[in-house]
Amino acid sequence: MFKKKNRLPAGEKILGTSFNTRFFILKVSKSKLSYSRFGFVVSGKIDKRAVVRNSLKRKIRSCLEQNFKKIKPGYNMLFILKKEAVNKSAEELCLEVNSVLKAQKLL
């Protein structure tokens, strides 16, 4: 679980660049803070069951927590998950997250 300061508040506007992948959309914006903040959105349209939606968030969050020390500070990141991510393993999602972060030089 991220510390409270590393959680993106609900309703926070992310005015920056977007990166579209098979499993999620990542919105990144530079912030004036000395640490990075993360937010996760899983729509009810993806699956009606909260168990499934929360499971997706936990998989992405665990990947980010493993690499937290390597992620550049000073960014707000919002992960908007897609329906394709529902049946994927944590390893597959983690590989996708790492590849996007490396490609954007955030890792």
Which DSSP category does 107 fall into? Answer: -
Between CA 55 and CA 94 the distance in angstroms is: 14
For the stretch 31-72, pLDDT in tens is 999 999 999 999 999 999 999 999 999 999 999 999 999 999
Please, what are the domains in the chain? Answer: 4-103 (3.30.230.10)
Which DSSP category does 72 fall into? Answer: P
**91 near 99, Cβ under 8 Å?**
no
Which DSSP category does 23 fall into? Answer: S
pTM: predicted TM-score of the whole model, two decimal places: 0.92
Q: Where are the beta strands (DSSP E) in 2-107?
A: 17-20, 24-30, 37-41, 75-81
